[in-house]
Structure 1
Amino acid sequence: MNDILRAPAAPQLPAPDVIARDYARVRGASETLCRPLITEDFGLQTAEFASPPKWHLAHVSWFFETFLLEPFLPGYTVFHPAFKSLFNSYYEQVGHYHPRPDRGFLSRPSVEEVYAYRAHVDEGMRALFARSGEDCWPAVVQRTRIGLNHEQQHQELLLTDIKQHFSVNPLRPAYRTDLAPVSTGQAIPLQWFPHEGGLVRAGHEGNSFAYDNEGPRHQVFLNAFALANRPVTNGEYLEFMEAGGYKEPALWLSDGWSAVHRLGWTSPRYWERHEGTWMEFTLGGLRPLDLAAPVSHVSHFEADAFATWAEARLPTEFEWEVAASALVLEGNFVDSDRLQPQATSGEGLVQMFGDVWEHTASAYLAYPGYRQAAGALGEYNGKFMSGQMVLRGGSCVSPADHIRATYRNFFYPHERWQFQGFRLARDL
């Protein structure tokens, strides 16, 4: 099987004990995220787009078993032959997979058996790290890095899916009751930061990890533009709503206006009105809406409609990347343990990383010179380059060491269960 990455190999590969430590850290983080759950939570699937927690835990183990242990560890015995299809997500070249909408039907295997599966795979990976020879070590390192970043993606999905599952429970359960309270501060004033445009370079280069869809690095011409210093806030989005934003077809793309009516949108996902007060369902339960925090759980269509109403637009992914590349990569990630977008202060461009994935005006397409890798791992990103939009920057439930300025997330324009927000741009 060919590998997904096309970045050049690092001059010196890490030693087995270094990779083993990284592996143990990331795998342990997934199980830490599941500690607040009770057994009944692990099998929940309340929407076709959201998976049960135990499926996430098993799928990431399936990834290591399928792409590392079976091809590289002599004598490895799979944990359960049926898991090859039960926990395959979408890899057609690996074989049959259980339908995504039916993942919640799997009352068996039990949660206990899923954790046993993880332990079995972890034992195999430790053996692989200890025994790999020089001939296969570069491939083992490369695929392990893919697998660890893949598991970090599913850690974010774990939290966003749990939020979806709990939100439809009339009891409004909290995933965690110890999360920080809603802030009472004011949003910093909106400012515009100009960029002269011109010919720029975009995309990943170098020896550090990146997905194949982040390259090749290439030239892009940008017209002069200005970028807002911060994302749009809940308070500003509320003004859009009160001005009739969801009732004015002139503000919306045609497919967006259809989605408003088909899906019954009148506010961002997880907003609720109780006795005249806006509340928001969070991973800490139902809380008063923080007007100064970035708006989240809005679709590309909603972001675009707001931008039209505000006489602005969404930035392209390249405008966003050029602005972000000059910044220190820091922000409100899952490591901050807030698990909710936060109001902030500061000068210059703030909250470019963390808090909310930021919608862009760019369709998720291949960069010039991109070639999808052969083999099953080539299905990871390339085959989804149709009908989706690019988001940048990570969110409050993304691991900090998983995000880069070149990272391209992608969702369909109507989806909004992720922590998705946006900042505005203008032409100069």
Structure 2
Amino acid sequence: MIQNLFVSIVQTPALLVGLLAVLGLILQHKKTTQVIQGGIKTFAGFLILTGGAGILVNSLDPFAKMFQFSLGVQGVVPSNEAVVAIALVDYGSVTAMIMFVGMLVNIALARFTKFKYIFLTGQAMLYVSCLTAVILVSAGFGNGLFTILLGGLFEGTLLTVTPALCQPFMRVITGGDTVAMGHTGNIGYALAGWCGKWFGNKEHSTEDINVPKSMSFLRDSTVSITIVMAIVYVILALMTGQQFVEENLSKGTNYIIYAIVQAGTFAAGFAVVLQGVRMILAEIVPAFQGIAMKLVPNSKPALDVPIIFPYAPNAVLLGFFVSFIVGTLSMFGMVALGTVVIIPGVVGHFFCGAAAAIYGNAKGGRRGAIIGAAVNSLLISWLPLFILPVLGNLSLASSTFADTDYLIPGIILGNIGALGETALLVGIIGFTVLVCLASKLMKEPEKA
């Protein structure tokens, strides 16, 4: 029962972060009314954010179905939620315990190293735990205590160091150093940021697009997103055909009207996400100062990817389209090469493509946003081919992991595991030692 309670809390990011806000305010000796207010507003803000993300995902579902039907392709669809749901049937208990140990390792490393990031995205923690459990068990480790401790060490170390890779760009994006990125696309985002810095031009930001006075209404993100997405949805609906849409998706509603409504729903979800982000930032950052001062000095909360969407809404749309186009071209490349076909997951390309573009834009402007989103898309399009062989029986599923922080560490860990249990043990312990040594040698944070 206690295990189930813990898993339920961690799987509910709104509750987890709300409780941490309460803890932070208590540590600052705030009044009871302030503690209650801060906790509830943080809790509600996360529910608003996740509710908005849910609206976005639901509006993208028919997009994916129309796309797949219109092209007539079959293959593996990267979806973290789907593959974890399958894996938890056999790996549920060990996954939960790895997640618990991973949280403790994350807190310990944040306390005693210079990587001061507390990873707070509950579902991402669960998914990384599940991936780790699958690879360790497939490599020959059982479901016992040793697997749990080793898996927790790997997960906690990974979730401590990946926000650090992104933080130089987070300082530019947010204009401060109070919040970090707590998502499982961090490796790809950091790479997108570096590509933007190397090959882009910061002088031409995605957010500096000149709009004539007669078209000034397009400066409103809700309006511009609705118009752009309506054009895309209508074109896709026309490609798919009236019969399929009305019989399988719209329940009889005219297919063009249905497409327009889905575009508006997408924009509405985006607006809800922005409101949730504002509430969270207003409450969690001040509350987290209590934890930073008392428990983990100078620590920063690492939060889910939509936290950066308000800073560059134009880059969000640009990144989605670039990422999805590159993913589609990659799919055709796989068909030509005769490999397993990785069908572009619309949700993954939206969230990861959007974030990669924001990171690329931070130091490379519009060109950096395009390059960053394209590079990240290539990673999440082609790397699933290389992780499938290390997932044991799970490789037979019609879905697989989608983000770079599952794919790259998973491929490395799985291939080390192929060398035997001893190699995997040495590899994971060596990874943690390497991170600790890097912290010792690291200078004060520098701006990107």
- Same-fold status (TM-score > 0.5): no
- TM-score normalised by the chain length of structure 1: 0.28
* TM-score normalised by L of structure 2: 0.27
Higher relative contact order (CA 8 A, sep 6+): 2
